[in-house]
Each structure stands twice: as C-alpha cells, then as structure tokens.
Amino acid sequence: MKKLLGIIIVGLLLSGNVYAKIIDLHCKFIEGKITKNVPHPGHDDIEKNTTYLSISDHDVEGYNIKLDTADEKIIEAPMFESPGSTRMFGDNLIFWYASLASESRLEIKFTLNRYTGRLREYHKHYKYGDTENNYWMDLIYDCSIAKKLF
C-alpha cells in the first residue's frame, strides 16, 4: 500500500512536466532597412537630410529563440536579459524590449507574432541635436520551428 501511494505521489509530482511546452524557433532574416541622419521629430529638414538604406540578407544573421509557452517565459532570445529589459506574452504577440543607456538613447524592441511566426527587430538610436549619428533600423525575420536532426 505504501509503495502504491508513493508511486501515485511521484506520478502527480512529475505530471506537471507533461504540460511544459518548450518551443525552439529558427528565425531567418528576410528584409530590413536603415533610416540614417534622422533629425529630431518636427525638424524642418526631416525629409531633405534623412537617408534610407536597404539591408541585404548577407549582412544579417538569423536568430535562435527558445520559449516556454506553458510558463510564458523566454528561455533564449537576443537581448531578452539586458538590464532594464521588459518581456510580455500576449495572445497574439510575444514582446521584449531593452533600453540601453549611454550618452544617447538606444532602444531595441523585438515583436514575435504567434500566428505568422514573423519576428520584427526595431532599433532606435537617438541623441537630440545629433542628426549625423541618429538612425532607426527595422529588420524582419520569418521564424519556424527548428527540427532536430538526430
């Protein structure tokens, strides 16, 4: 009887792991652009001075992301553990954001669409009055479930 009770208790303790859902994603870069020389918002020369550049696929590597959807946790992803970062699991999107402190402001935001598998990485580097070094970068990746090879 004690053995049966012990087996039942151990089984109940381990049954919680059945619902854990770890998902490995591989995200491949598909397109991106950089907006350079961005003056502060509302500046008269915003269109004249701003430069738009396209990013080719050989310039950017993909990402591997690991998620625990049962506990709504990010296990592995770019910059998700940066100091001051924010993470949020929603019904449609998984979002993480890092604001890196320096003389200027650098914000990096990642948004993963749970339905399409599309990952968007957005950088905003900004210092008021420093048009020459200001830039915004928008990168888009397609993510799919990584398959084990062996």
Measured CA distances, 115 to 44, 91, 97 (Å): 40, 9, 20
How far is it, in rounded angstroms, from Cα 147 to Cα 150? 9
pLDDT tens digits, residue range 11-43?
A: 655 555 455 589 999 999 998 888 777 665 555
Cα 76 to Cα 91: distance, rounded to the nearest angstrom: 20
Between CA 15 and CA 87 the distance in angstroms is 28
Digit-coded pLDDT (tens) for 54-84? 776 567 788 999 999 888 889 999 888 877 6
**Predicted model pTM:** 0.73
